Copies of this chain bind each other. A is one copy, B any other.
Amino acid sequence: MAVKRLGRASIAFENPPSIISGASIAGVKEGEGPLAKYYDEILENDLYGEQTWEKAESKLQKTAFQKAIEKSNLPLSKIDYVFAGDLLNQCTGSHYAMKNTDLPFFGLYGACSTMAQSSALAAMAVDGGYADNVIAMTSSHFCSSEKQYRFPLEYGGQRPPTAQWTVTGSGAIVISNEGNGPYITHVTTGKIIDMGINDANNMGAAMAPAAVDTIITHFEDTGFSPADYDLIITGDLASVGSDITCELVCASGYDISKIYNDCGKMVFDTNTQDVHAGGSGCGCSAIVFCSYILDMIKQGKLNRVLFIGTGALMSPLNLLQGENIPGIAHAITVQGRLS
């Protein structure tokens, strides 16, 4: 077997799997944002025809799943595995979406890093020969998240400038051993890093150290430099976390400043949409990645992209017990053409 492993935390795929389709469903506010035209569907209201926000979130994920399969032109019987997770306690967004679908399922918890984590593991399953076609997906919902992690919505709590707005949305991709790209060529797996942040309204700062570690590890492991990428995009650090990340990565000798962006800054117009630091939630990087980024790669406007899903492993209970908010960030390299 040829060497697939690079450094401490990275792998290169021998037969890079293709992302043969992607779908994204976005909430109302997201549909008023700058990337609206890239989404497959935009909700008319947050309940999406359901009785509760949690049921709405499951429906979001089920719809993204169905659209991704539809766009792949594969019958459901050709999907071998699902890798999914979300922010809700017990990951119920994913579980209720996938129950009784008769699909082998791996449940994940990576908080807002889930789109990258599920894509990484799904690509490993395909490249390893365990599957032909795998779904990777996730979701989040502003209302279900806010009530679980912070305050009841009805309370109308003030939000400080560092707060992020959890995206209502879901993204799904089909990763296949056949196809003409975009290809997933590399994975750099994140570590859990706690640098002492304990403010649930400053998730960007909590996740930034993990993002910095993963980006630098990726460069060190693979030998790539910022010049090898057209876009390096974290999701979702928003303005506070992405500023920290850019500064620290640049200070370590990798000047990413000209090609770096963040899904949390792109998903909303932060000047007009009253989202404070920007977007967050598993759905944030999911809808940006599964729509805009994949589209740009398919159109040839971007060739090589480093997509870094960043998760704040925040537990309201453990915060009350005096713990901090550890972060984790997983990176995948997505490439339009294999040179």
Q: How far is the CB of A338 from chain B (nearest CB, A)?
A: 19
- Which listed segment binds B: A64-72, A292-300, A321-329? A321-329
Q: How far is the CB of A163 from chain B (nearest CB, A)?
A: 19
Distance, CA A130 to CA B121, complexed state (A):
11
Residues in B with CB closer than 8 Å to A121 are 106, 121
Query: Are B4 and A129 neighbours in the complex by a CB distance under 8 Å?
Result: yes
**Nearest B-chain residue to A193, judged by Cβ:** B100
Show 8 A/B contacts (Cβ-Cβ < 8 Å), sorted by A. A5-B129, A52-B321, A90-B313, A92-B323, A102-B191, A106-B117, A107-B117, A128-B129
Interface residues of A in 303-331 (CB under 8 A from B): 313-315, 317-318, 321, 323, 326, 328
Distance, CA A79 to CA B128, complexed state (A):
20
Query: Are A128 and B128 neighbours in the complex by a CB distance under 8 Å?
Result: yes
Query: Are B5 and A104 neighbours in the complex by a CB distance under 8 Å?
Result: no
Of the listed residues A121, A130, A326, the one surrounded by the most CB atoms of chain B closer than 10 A to its CB is A130
Interface residues of A in 129-175 (CB under 8 A from B): 129-131
Distance, CA A127 to CA B128, complexed state (A):
8
Query: Are B194 and A88 neighbours in the complex by a CB distance under 8 Å?
Result: no
**Nearest B-chain residue to A89, judged by Cβ:** B89
- Which listed segment binds B: A34-42, A108-116, A230-238, A255-263? A108-116
Q: How far is the CB of A114 from chain B (nearest CB, A)?
A: 9
A9, CB-defined interface residue at 8 Å: yes
Say which residue of B9, B90, B103, B323 sits within 8 Å of A314 (CB atoms).
Answer: B90
Q: How far is the CB of A326 from chain B (nearest CB, A)?
A: 4
Distance, CA A80 to CA B5, complexed state (A):
10
A-B contact sample (20 more), CB < 8 A, given A90-B111, A95-B192, A99-B326: A4-B128, A5-B129, A11-B130, A54-B318, A54-B321, A85-B109, A89-B317, A90-B313, A92-B318, A101-B191, A102-B191, A103-B191, A105-B192, A105-B328, A106-B117, A106-B121, A107-B110, A107-B328, A109-B109, A128-B128
Distance, CA A95 to CA B313, complexed state (A):
7
Q: How far is the CB of A144 from chain B (nearest CB, A)?
A: 9
A1, CB-defined interface residue at 8 Å: yes
Query: Are A108 and B109 neighbours in the complex by a CB distance under 8 Å?
Result: yes
Residues in B with CB closer than 8 Å to A337 are none
Residues in B with CB closer than 8 Å to A51 are 321
Query: Are B4 and A194 neighbours in the complex by a CB distance under 8 Å?
Result: no
Distance, CA A315 to CA B249, complexed state (A):
40
Residues in B with CB closer than 8 Å to A80 are 5
Residues in B with CB closer than 8 Å to A108 are 106-109
